[in-house]
Chain A
Amino acid sequence: GENVEQHPSTLSVQEGDSAVIKCTYSDSASNYFPWYKQELGKRPQLIIDIRSNVGEKKDQRIAVTLNKTAKHFSLHITETQPEDSAVYFCAAKTDQGAQKLVFGQGTRLTINP
């Protein structure tokens, strides 16, 4: 089955700097890669996603890149703000077989003022 590895597990950056979180996946059939943000005590919220027919997607300060050959994808947050502090989860999913969304282990991002 699919296995998603996420790094780093914790990340601390100065406000205004950029943050990058990386994930690798094992199943070459995976074709959908969402990123979720989870604040303490709250639900995971979808912040951006990318499908395997696209290499990059951007939404304001957030971007995701996908390298299908290397089977890795990354989340980029620019001009970080204190409200970006949260746990971020990457995930991968395939249309084939058991259609399960498999999560990475999460990255705790802290933005220092």
Chain B
Amino acid sequence: DTEVTQTPKHLVMGMTNKKSLKCEQHMGHRAMYWYKQKAKKPPELMFVYSYEKLSINESVPSRFSPECPNSSLLNLHLHALQPEDSALYLCASSPGGQGNYGYTFGSGTRLTVV
């Protein structure tokens, strides 16, 4: 399995809702990432998990809460989002550790906040 699987593919949520995005990989990768991508912009890093520990939080608002239950799974819990949070949320993974390997991206969750 050489894929990163994200669910759901599309999500519409109200500003008072709580929802979660899920990401799964079975490549044995030990680093996992959440990116946010707005239209016509590059992916913007939000969080990095390395060996299941949060190693980077790019000053993301607390209404986004990441979780890494195990080495294959990564969640992003959403609460009280704003319309400007509407974007494509991409999960990625890489082997981790020293050495530079390509990130594998999931297909993303297209989130609309209404």
**Chain A residues engaging chain B, CB cutoff 8 angstroms:** 31-32, 34, 36, 42-46, 49, 51, 89, 93, 95, 98-106
Task: Name the contact of B105 in the complex, choosing from A43, A51, A105 (C-beta under 8 A).
Answer: A43
**Chain B residues engaging chain A, CB cutoff 8 angstroms:** 33, 40-43, 45, 48, 50, 56, 90, 98-100, 102-108
B41 touches A34 (CB 8 A): no
Dominant secondary structure at the B interface: loop
Most chain-B CB neighbours within 10 Å: which of A31, A42, A99, A103?
A99
A43 and B106 contact, Cβ closer than 8 Å, known pairs A98-B56, A100-B56:
yes
A43 touches B107 (CB 8 A): yes
B43 touches A103 (CB 8 A): yes
Q: Give chain A nearest CB distance to B67 CB in angstroms.
A: 20
* In the complex, chain A residues whose CB is within 8 Å of the CB of B106: 43
Q: Give chain B nearest CB distance to A67 CB in angstroms.
A: 18
Task: Name the contact of B102 in the complex, choosing from A46, A100, A103, A106 (C-beta under 8 A).
Answer: A46
Assembled-state Cα–Cα distance A105/B41 (Å): 6
Assembled-state Cα–Cα distance A32/B90 (Å): 21
A95 and B102 contact, Cβ closer than 8 Å, known pairs A43-B90, A103-B43:
no
Assembled-state Cα–Cα distance A103/B56 (Å): 16
Assembled-state Cα–Cα distance A44/B102 (Å): 11
A31 touches B100 (CB 8 A): yes
Selected A-B contacts with CB under 8 Å, 12 pairs: A43-B90, A43-B106, A43-B107, A45-B105, A89-B42, A99-B48, A100-B56, A103-B43, A104-B42, A105-B41, A106-B40, A106-B42
* In the complex, chain B residues whose CB is within 8 Å of the CB of A105: 41-42
Q: Give chain A nearest CB distance to B44 CB in angstroms.
A: 8
B102 touches A49 (CB 8 A): yes
Q: Give chain A nearest CB distance to B51 CB in angstroms.
A: 12
Q: Give chain B nearest CB distance to A40 CB in angstroms.
A: 10
